[in-house]
């Protein structure tokens, strides 16, 4: 048992294979009694249909593929929960796949659409520019979430759900400028790179420009998106420059930067203010909390599902949604955080952002 096939089940149940197949696929027109018998035999031998064979024949699967670039990125966790939930609500299954940092997510999606007979694809994260030819291998509707995609393909061939990285970085920088900061260090990736790095840097520069402040390469630290990257970049910023504020273009780096500042004996926000980006729940639980540009990630996840399913079900066309972020003010930029006795300080955030209580899940099993 275990390596039973549909024919074995048919024989043992005294029916034909097509009847077994019908039971398997919940076809309506099969005698209730026959169905029970077949199900019992299946259970007794714990029969398990072969997915490869099914997918080989099947035309539609009511399955949406989700290709995540860097599945361990904490930013995606709540989004995945929302996507799976909403897909289930509308009667679709989610097939989740991880793409490594240097993997070709389009190729992965292309293989998947065939293998799993996907009816749609949602990309989370990934690169910025795809050629028309590359995208053309995708035969089912697809949407890019959380990235602004540019390609030479007609915009009507796919959807995007994103934020305006430049605008939001601009707003974050203005936030600091308006509170008197003039020397604002920035932790980001290389300037040349076409990516969120670039876009957010442009917003930063635009805001500075409005205050008559030019680009200063000394206070732009090029670092990777890790705690350690933020820590080291902030350290050299403190050692070599006279910044009064640090803008980290990801919350993870902001956490590392915070460590560097406190370790150096400086106060936050009195000596150095810190601004993050993304809205990870971790930023609410550092001390002080980190002011951050919060992306409405769960709304965006919902929109990704709605968009792709609407197209599949012919209820809509490809569209390009841009969501506004919200600066969540916390102690790292001088906001007075409510204290322990005033009740749970996170309630406001919860109300704004919807349920995201299980974010930042720790080691459950290890």
Residues that bind DNA (CB under 7 A): 3, 5-7, 14-19, 21-22, 24-25, 28-31, 33-35, 49-50, 53-54, 56-60
> CB-wise, 30 or 110, nearer to its own copies?
110
Of 19-27, 135-143, 175-183, 206-214, the window that binds its own copies (rule: CB under 8 A) is 135-143
Residue 250 to residue 79: CA distance in whole angstroms: 17
Binds 22: which of its own copies, DNA, none (CB < 5-8 Å by kind)? DNA
Residues in the chain: 366
Report DSSP state, residue 142.
Answer: E
Binding mask 162-201 for its own copies (x = CB under 8 A): ---------------------------------xx-----
Asked if 277 touches its own copies (CB under 8 A), the answer is: yes
DSSP symbols for 257-321: HHHHHHHTT--TTTT-EEEEEE--GGGGTSSSPPEEEE--HHHHHHHHHHHHHHHHTTS----EE
Phi/psi for 205 (5° steps) reads -65, -40
Residue 285 to residue 292: CA distance in whole angstroms: 12
Residue 251 to residue 75: CA distance in whole angstroms: 10
Q: How far is the CB of 46 from DNA (least distance, A)?
A: 12
The closest alpha carbon to 187, from 255, 265, 239, belongs to 255
Q: How far is the CB of 282 from DNA (least distance, A)?
A: 43
Asked if 325 touches its own copies (CB under 8 A), the answer is: no
Footprint of its own copies on residues 230-259 (CB under 8 A)?
A: 230-232, 235, 238-239, 250-253, 255-256, 258-259
Of 24-32, 35-43, 308-316, 334-342, the window that binds its own copies (rule: CB under 8 A) is 334-342
């Amino acid at each position: 048992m275990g390596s039973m096939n549909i024919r074995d089940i048919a024989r043992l149940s005294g029916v034909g294979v097509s009847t077994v197949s019908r039971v398997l696929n919940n076809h309506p027109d099969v005698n209730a009694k026959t169905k029970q018998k077949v199900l019992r035999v299946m259970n007794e031998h714990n029969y398990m249909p072969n997915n490869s064979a099914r997918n080989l024949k099947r035309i539609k699967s009511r399955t949406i593929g989700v290709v995540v670039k860097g599945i361990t990125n904490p930013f995606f966790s709540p989004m995945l929960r929302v996507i799976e939930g909403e897909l289930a609500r509308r009667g679709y299954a989610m097939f989740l796949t991880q793409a490594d940092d240097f993997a070709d997510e389009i190729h992965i999606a292309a293989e998947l659409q065939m293998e799993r007979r996907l009816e749609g694809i949602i990309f989370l994260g990934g690169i910025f520019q795809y050629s028309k030819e590359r995208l053309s291998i995708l035969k089912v509707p697809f949407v890019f979430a959380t990235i602004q995609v540019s390609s030479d393909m007609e915009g009507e061939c796919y959807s995007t759900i994103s934020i305006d990285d430049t605008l939001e970085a601009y707003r974050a920088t203005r936030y600091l400028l308006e509170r008197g900061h003039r020397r604002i260090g920035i932790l980001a990736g290389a300037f040349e790179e076409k990516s969120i790095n670039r876009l957010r840097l442009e917003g930063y520069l635009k805001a500075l420009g409005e205050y008559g402040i030019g680009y200063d390469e000394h206070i732009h630290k090029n670092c990777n998106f890790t705690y350690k990257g933020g820590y080291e970049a902030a350290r050299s910023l403190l050692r070599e420059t006279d910044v009064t504020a640090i803008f980290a273009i990801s919350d993870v780096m902001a956490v590392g930067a915070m460590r560097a500042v406190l370790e150096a004996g400086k106060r936050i926000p009195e000596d150095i203010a810190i601004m993050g980006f993304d809205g990870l729940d971790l930023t609410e639980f550092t001390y002080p909390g980190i002011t951050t540009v919060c992306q409405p990630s769960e709304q965006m996840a919902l929109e990704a599902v709605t968009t792709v399913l609407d197209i599949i079900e012919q209820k809509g066309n490809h569209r390009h949604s841009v969501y506004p972020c919200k600066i969540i003010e916390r102690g790292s930029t001088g906001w007075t955080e409510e204290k322990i006795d005033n009740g749970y300080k996170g309630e406001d955030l919860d109300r704004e952002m919807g349920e995201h209580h299980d974010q930042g899940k720790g080691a459950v099993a290890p």
